[in-house]
Structure 1
């Protein structure tokens, strides 16, 4: 298959790219700054510059691909977010609009755990003990992007899935090839999940979809 990964320079995007290549797929890795991510390029990976919030750019980059992955963020981590000169609250809405308009046969987006519901039905982002209040604006922007995908409904061209890793995401974890899928609620029993295994879930759902037009929590 041909897979385009938007946000290929981030931790999730790199893991998805590596997993796709491991399975013999050809990948187009889209990043904001090609020069900063030259190490991504390989015989199986073409690195292209692009802006996921630009519908024209996204459509051009997604053309000819069997699937698209959205693993984008305007900044990685609280420190990087604090250094942004300006944060666009509609960043993830614009990304959702652009990716849907690009029309890939399959779209898998990496979500944010703060948009999951806790056992009482409350958003994780609304619990100050579970999520930093200073990042709620970022989390709400993520939720707005999820809601925009949900608004696409059952349109034939909108074969999307949001895979949301839980808080037990382990940056240093090894690839085990195993994971579990849930729904909109934080799993009662959370086990650590590596980025590599998150990528296994993403590529599995591209190759043989089990969930469509919904959001699923992913955990170990």
Structure 2
């Protein structure tokens, strides 16, 4: 893993730092001596690890105009928010532009010389080598969750319309599986299309967080979406 000594990156804002992915990414960044601004809507509801380099900021990713000062201090942002803590019983009233609007807010309110964004992707949006996307195969993805996947899919064209230096990292379907060890054991980035085996592989949060931290510290993916899977 790279260290802060060999990169100019010093401060990162993690939007959605209290979620399972956000917490793992925050921990991985803190291990690299990076200062993390953890942006939470309700900070008092969450108990993040104490660290001198961790600064908890109250804010809403859907209203980033109120966080212009905070965003102006960071070199990179991790977009790890989700509209649901669990699959909803209904998607009635759900805004398919949920992520699109957040990306527009980031682009409009983040005034910094270096604007590196890593967005947490969704397996369902990935293209398979058998044709079509993961979400289009009902044997792989529950059709009732399609609106959530469609909202994620809209990140790609939304980001393409910005001047951000961005990357979408999508984990496989076996993400956060208890069958994998609790510590990261490496990972690799794969360009679409994926095989069914790759798309359904097991990957721990620690492995995924390692990939995100690396793409922030030493970027290799620019303006593209890739999958994060276990090492071969």
Q: Select which of 192, 209, 214 maps to 1:184.
A: 192
Give the structure 1 partner of residue 95 of structure 2.
88
Q: How does 1:103-122 map to 2 (within 5 A)?
A: 103=111, 105-122=115-132
Name the CA distance, whole Å, in 2 between partners of 1:84 and 1:41.
Answer: 37
Residue 203 of structure 1 pairs with residue 213 of structure 2? yes
Name the CA distance, whole Å, in 1 between partners of 2:42 and 2:229.
Answer: 31
Residue 160 of structure 1 pairs with residue 166 of structure 2? yes
Q: Select which of 141, 146, 151 maps to 2:151.
A: 141
Give the structure 2 partner of residue 50 of structure 1.
59
Residue 62 of structure 1 pairs with residue 71 of structure 2? yes
Residue 169 of structure 1 pairs with residue 175 of structure 2? yes
Find the residue that maps to 2:228 and give its secondary structure: strand
What is the deviation of 1:39? 3.0
Name the CA distance, whole Å, in 1 between partners of 2:92 and 2:197.
Answer: 39
Pair 1:57–1:187, CA change in 2 (3 A) = farther
Name the CA distance, whole Å, in 1 between partners of 2:185 and 2:171.
Answer: 15
Structure with more of its chain in helix, by fraction: 1
Name the CA distance, whole Å, in 1 between partners of 2:64 and 2:28.
Answer: 27
Residue 71 of structure 1 pairs with residue 80 of structure 2? yes
Preserved contact between residue 59 and residue 98 of structure 1 (Cα < 8 Å): no
Deviations 1:28-62 (A, max 9, x none): 10111111113345322111111112241353331
CA RMSD for the aligned pairs? 1.9
Name the CA distance, whole Å, in 2 between partners of 1:209 and 1:112.
Answer: 20
Give the structure 2 partner of residue 219 of structure 1.
229
Give the TM-score normalised by the residue count of structure 1: 0.89
Deviations 1:128-182 (A, max 9, x none): 1111111001110111122211233xx3xx1011001011212444223400101
Name the CA distance, whole Å, in 2 between partners of 1:74 and 1:170.
Answer: 19
> Alignment length, in residue pairs?
214
Preserved contact between residue 54 and residue 94 of structure 1 (Cα < 8 Å): no
Give the TM-score normalised by the residue count of structure 2: 0.85
Residue 128 of structure 1 pairs with residue 135 of structure 2? no
Which consecutive residues of structure 1, in runs of 5 or more, have no partner in the other structure? Answer: none
Name the CA distance, whole Å, in 2 between partners of 1:167 and 1:45.
Answer: 30
